[in-house]
Amino acid sequence: MDPAPTETQEVLYAVDEQIAVITLNAPQRMNTISRAMLDELTRVLILANEDPSVRCVVLTGKGRAFCAGLDLRSKRGEGGEGGISTASSSTTLNLRNTPPTVLQAMDKPTVCAVNGGAAGYGMDTALGCDIRIMAESAKFAAAFVKRGVVPESGGTWLLPRMIGWAKASELLFTGRTLSARECLDWGLTNLVVPDAELMDRALALAREIAANAPLAVQATKRMMRMGLNENFSDHVHHVYLQLLPLFGTQDMAEGIQAFVEKREPQFKGR
């Protein structure tokens, strides 16, 4: 069992009521992602995905920002302990095993509670979650081209699929910042709530998801992910292959019995 998180850790991890809450914990630098935070966030995302007691993951940040992007301060140049140097990142930053790619591969549902500004890498990470709930004060800043870079962590793949080519082009080519309400209008968030209600609303949604049969929820997410790159005939075939093992689960029997008995089902993940 992992040790209890402390306030000195850059990523906090806690599991309660079958929900894993992951909190970026560097508010003094607006939760910019250092090398240490990058590695730790990847580790706990994988931990949550592999933990059979976890049915849903909530990702959020501590302080006034969700994540202001990568921490690009050089250790030598600007005293940024654990920072990712711009001079070396092009050759040493492996994006294949970092939070956005891990998020894309996860079977557990993910809810991002966007508590404040999400810029660059932070915006990509939020977009990589399945569902987003934004505090009224939160913003998405697609500032990549204003920094001379591209959306390095999935934005160019995610945004055209989420909001269409034209809207994605407008956002990414201008490097515009969108308020939470604008994000709702653009289809980038599911819900905008008062700041004080953010975690309550995110956890309520996570509990609603966690109450369902976890094997079915995870299989549904896998099928949605596969469907992004399949034709309809292939996809229907793969759905059938996912359905077959579910027929033999205790959870499917429980779901049917609960329906017949007009009660809430009690799923065990078996």
Q: Decide: residue 14, CB within 10 A, 0-12 exposed, 13-18 middle, 19+ buried.
A: middle
The arithmetic mean of pLDDT across residues 81-92, rounded, is: 47
Cβ neighbours of 261 (radius 10 Å): 9
Q: Are 205 and 228 in contact (CB under 8 A)?
A: no
39-43, 85-89, 172-176, 195-199: the lowest-pLDDT one: 85-89
User: What pLDDT is attached to residue 242?
Assistant: 85
8 or 43, which is more confident: 43
For residue 17, give the 3-state DSSP assignment: coil
Mean pLDDT of the chain, nearest integer? 87
Which residues neighbour 33 within 8 Å (Cβ) at sequence distance 6 or greater?
Answer: 24, 41, 67, 69, 70, 71, 84, 99, 121, 122
Which residues neighbour 179 within 8 Å (Cβ) at sequence distance 6 or greater?
Answer: 139
For 138-178, the pLDDT digits (tens) are 999 998 888 887 777 788 899 999 999 999 999 999 999 99
Return the CATH fold of 11-210: 2-enoyl-CoA Hydratase; Chain A, domain 1 (3.90.226)
User: What pLDDT is attached to residue 78?
Assistant: 44
Q: Decide: residue 165, CB within 10 A, 0-12 exposed, 13-18 middle, 19+ buried.
A: exposed
User: What pLDDT is attached to residue 95?
Assistant: 59
Which residues neighbour 121 within 8 Å (Cβ) at sequence distance 6 or greater?
Answer: 33, 67, 69, 70, 100, 152, 153
For 31-78, the pLDDT digits (tens) are 999 888 999 999 999 999 999 999 999 999 999 999 998 876 644 444
For residue 59, give the 3-state DSSP assignment: strand
User: What pLDDT is attached to residue 97?
Assistant: 73
Q: Name the maximum alpha-carbon separation found in the chain.
A: 67
Question: Both tokens of residue 28?
Answer: 């003094």
User: What pLDDT is attached to residue 154?
Assistant: 83
Question: CA–CA separation, 70 vs 99, rounded Å?
Answer: 12
Domains 11-210 and 214-261 share a fold: no
Question: CA–CA separation, 7 vs 77, rounded Å?
Answer: 27
pLDDT band at 8 (very low <50, low <70, confident <90, very high): low
User: What pLDDT is attached to residue 76?
Assistant: 40
83 or 21, which is more confident: 21
Q: How is the chain split into domains, by residue range?
A: 11-210, 214-261
Residue type, 219: A
Beta partners for 133? 113, 191
User: What pLDDT is attached to residue 73?
Assistant: 65
Question: Both tokens of residue 138?
Answer: 């939160």
Q: Are 33 and 121 in contact (CB under 8 A)?
A: yes
For residue 46, give the 3-state DSSP assignment: helix
For 206-248, the pLDDT digits (tens) are 999 999 999 999 999 999 998 888 889 988 888 888 889 989 8
Residues 214-261, CATH architecture: Orthogonal Bundle (1.10)
Cα torsion 175, 27, 3, 21: sign:
negative
